[in-house]
Structure 1
Amino acid sequence: MPRIEFYVLSSATPTDRLRAACQLAMKAWRRGLPVFLRGSDTEQCRALDELLWRFKTESFIPHNLHQDDPQAPVVIGLDDEPSTQQGVLINLNTTISPFVERFSRVIEIVNQQPELLTACRENFRSYRQRGYDPQRVEL
């Protein structure tokens, strides 16, 4: 059963949310874990791809879009089935991934946008109803 964590940001800025996702992806990748960044739409996936290229100028985070290389150490996609198991899912979508059981850890990134807060609260309840014990982490 995966460990579920809700990382809560104090800002409402969408860019801060993407930067937090990149930071967490880099941390997990450096620990040797496969990472799946689940975006909310194609535009956000492209923004994540671009941000990962310039996120840290002194280091490179090997990544690719799912349709280009589903085996990359850091994969960016939507509702694509992950090619590896027991990795980290960083969920930026407003819904729970259909493949949540394929991961050892799921991170939901929440900011202070009202509509996102509402969706994430619903996800938190839904995880509990499914038998998970989601945790809240303040950033």
Structure 2
Amino acid sequence: MTRIEFYVLPDSEQAGRARAACQLASKGWQHGLSVFIRCQDDQQCNELDELLWTFRAERFIPHELHGVDPLAPVVIGTEQPPASVQGLLINLSTTLSPHTDQFSRVIEIVNQQPELLTVCRDNFRLYRQRGYDPKRVEL
């Protein structure tokens, strides 16, 4: 069964979620997992694409937008199904992915922004209703 984790950041800074996504994508890729970063919209996809180019000066994180190369080690997209199954989904969207079962692990990144906390609490309950056992991880 897919492992679901909610990584909780201590602040409400929106950029912190993007940096955490980059860090997690780098770790997942280094551990041999295919990584799909699911964004809210195309603008967030493009912003994350730019951030991944500059995130680590000493190490390149091989990534691409889904429309360009859905088989890249780290793929950035929205609602597209993953080209590789059993990888890592990093969900920055406010909704659950319709492709959750195609991943071995899903990470939801939460910060202290009140609206996002409310949405993520609802998503936590939805995962439980669907038979998953989501965990909370404080960062």
**What residue number does 2:112 align with?**
112
- Sequence identity (%): 66
Q: CA RMSD in A?
A: 0.4
Name the CA distance, whole Å, in 2 between partners of 1:112 and 1:44. 19
Alpha-carbon separation, structure 2, partners of 1:93 and 1:81: 14
2:75 corresponds in structure 1 to 75
Partner residue in 1 for 2:97: 97
Instruction: Give the TM-score, by structure 1 length.
Output: 0.99
Partner of residue 85, structure 1: 85
SS of alignment partner, residue 67 of structure 1: coil
Q: SS of 1:11's equivalent? A: coil
**Aligned-pair CA distance for 1:4:** 0.1
Residue 127 of structure 1 is matched in structure 2 by 127
Aligned twin of 1:62: 62
Aligned residue number for residue 13 of structure 2: 13
- In structure 2, how many angstroms separate the alpha carbons of the residues matched to 1:83 and 1:54? 25
CA distance in 2 between counterparts of 1:51 and 1:131 reads: 35
The alignment covers a number of residue pairs equal to 139
Segments of 5+ residues of structure 1 without an aligned counterpart are: none
Runs of 4+ in 1 over 3 A off after TM superposition: none
